[in-house]
Amino acid sequence: MSTGNADAVLTEILAQMQALQVSQQALQAKLEAAMPALRPSSAVPIPGRQDSAGSPTEQNLLLSPASSLSKALLATATPLTAASTEQVQSEKDREKSLYPGRVLLTTYPDQQGIKPYPLQWGASDPAIRGPVICSRLPSSLKQRNALGAHSGSYSIYRALAIAMGTLDPAHKPDYSKTEPPLPIPPQPAWYDPSKIVSFDPWGHLVPQVFKREIEELGLDVRPSIAVTKAHIKLSEIDEAARRGEIKVDGRVVLETRPGKNADGSVSEAYPGVEINTSKAAVEPVWYLPGVAERFGISENLLRRALFEDTGGMYPELITRPDIKIFLPPIGNLTVYIFGNPEYMADETKELTLRVHDECNGSDVFGSDICTCKPYLVFAIEECIRCAQRGGVGVVVYFRKEGRALGEVTKYLVYNLRKRGGDTADKYFRATELIAGVKDMRFQALMPDVLHWLGIRKVDNMVSMSDMKYNAIVQSGIPILKRYDIPEHLIPPDSRVEIDAKIAAGYFTSGKQVTEADLIKTVGRTWEETEH
């Protein structure tokens, strides 16, 4: 399609949207005029919820009366018992008390009272940048400047808790004593709207820098990042310490206190070690223009794809082009820091990095069909050694299960591989046959977290992924050395994965593998072990 035709189509779409706005506004006016007749006469009260006539909730929600079809269906339905009738009535009363007005399917920029709180992505002053507000509570509904909901995929559980009555939707969190126990201070990258586009760099400082908006203006502004400290205990690190490969220094690696026997006496068994770490959990907050630019597509195309392929879940992606922030319903990331966190922004200090994408089967349950857990454990050991040399180690754990294809797809691929001859030459093809693509992790957004931490160079990167390496280097962070997992740590059954990746051009410091060699690398069959 030529540029002229594309512009004409876009102009026509905008004209249709404007006409739809006018029609929708007229309908809204009629509905508001008819609201007294549609309001429920009674409702089940919920503590802390205001449901008086003319409340903001009623002014912004749509109550759809029963259609003639639904009435006909009700008339022919099996009669309800007294008990079931009372239950249904109770459920209806509860629904009316939670959502007493009309359903707000979408909004438009020029609707009455809609005025998003100003937000300038990339501003150096948080007061100018503004808070991210996605809440649909009455106090914040008309000032929302973000689409979606906090907590990513877990937002669905919040909805269930509200529907079940275990959570008051108007609950106001108490953020006292939740501030980070270690500093993650502002970095120059925070002020560059092109450097961090996939989460809010001020997310861990929300209760402090947006105190006025929360306490004085009553807006529902929530943290999207939490920073804390922890001790990590892994059996693999225990064994490495026992063998003398990891030293107990009392700073990064600590000896675990002795355990107890069944009779309560102190056990003489080797207690192992603990790793002293700092960590941060980061929720996704997408600045849509920046995300689109990062992938080299238009913002309109990004919005349309997000709308269509979430089943139309977020219609305001289409109708609210003025709102540029979207909190997608996807998993978050976690940062683990080994050593002094202040060293991350100090270019004179050595820094070791592992960017790891989730693999529940291997990371948690030890499946040997891939190298994910060995890679993760090896990287943690390398981070410990780096911290003990006076540097700092960083492991970033992304929730991108099965190359972001999901665990169901991954297991289907396993079945295909084991039934179709698990050879390295078929490794990527098996995934493509089921998923249509061999990888959907798209590492373009991954470097954002490194910029947030203030990392300006990476001395050691534990990875064989060119996608990760290229994304980091192209974002402006040089990598001085990269290396992969040692050969002796590769589980035999995961040789199929490793050889296929090496032949496909992944980085390796070990043996070279050609396409002709791949047919010789065969995975274990189901029959070779009990399941």
Q: How many angstroms separate the Cα of 495 from the Cα of each of 103, 116, 369, 402, 520?
A: 54, 54, 8, 17, 11
Could you give the domains of the chain?
126-223+285-327 (no CATH), 230-259+269-283+329-529 (3.40.50.10990)
Mean pLDDT taken over the chain? 84
pLDDT at 38 over 70: no
SS3 percent helix, strand, coil of the chain, rounded to 5, is 45, 10, 45
Residues 482 and 354: their CA atoms lie apart, in Å, by: 10
CA pair distance 310, 300, nearest whole angstrom: 16
- Least confident piece of the model among 23-37, 222-236, 315-329: 23-37
- pLDDT of 121 reads 97
Q: What is the pLDDT of residues 481-526, one digit of tens each?
A: 999 988 888 887 777 777 777 777 787 777 776 666 666 667 666 6
Verdict on whether the full-model pTM lies above 0.85:
no
Selected residue with higher pLDDT from 16 and 184: 184
Give buried/exposed letters for 72-84 (b at 16+ CB in 10 A, else e): eeeeeeeeeeeee
User: Tokens representing 480?
Assistant: 């001085």
Q: What is the pLDDT of residues 395-441, one digit of tens each?
A: 999 999 998 999 999 999 888 888 878 777 778 888 888 999 988 99
**DSSP letter (8 states) at residue 335:** E
Which range among 31-45, 96-110, 383-397, 489-503 shows the weakest confidence by mean pLDDT? 31-45
pLDDT at 18 over 70: no
Dihedral sign for Cα 368, 372, 377, 381, please.
positive
Taking the C-alpha atoms of residue 160 and residue 249, their distance in angstroms, rounded to an integer, is: 47
Q: Which H or E run includes 372?
A: helix 372-388
Residue (of 340, 185, 226) closest to 277 by Cα position: 340
Confidence of residue 79 (pLDDT cuts 50, 70, 90): low
pLDDT for 155-211, tens place per residue? 999 999 999 999 999 999 999 999 999 999 999 999 999 999 999 999 999 999 999
Helix (H/G/I), strand (E/B), else coil: 482: strand
- Looking at residue 36, what is its pLDDT? 41
pLDDT for the residue numbered 37:
40
Tell me which range, 7-21, 76-90, 246-260, is most confidently predicted by mean pLDDT: 246-260
- Cβ neighbors of 513 (< 8 A, separation 6 or more) are 424, 499, 502, 503, 521
How many CB atoms lie under 10 A from the CB of residue 229? Answer: 13
Alpha-carbon span 208 to 131, nearest angstrom: 11
Predicted pLDDT of residue 512:
73
**Residue positions annotated with a catalytic role:** 439, 441
The first and second tokens of residue 388, run together, are 């003990």
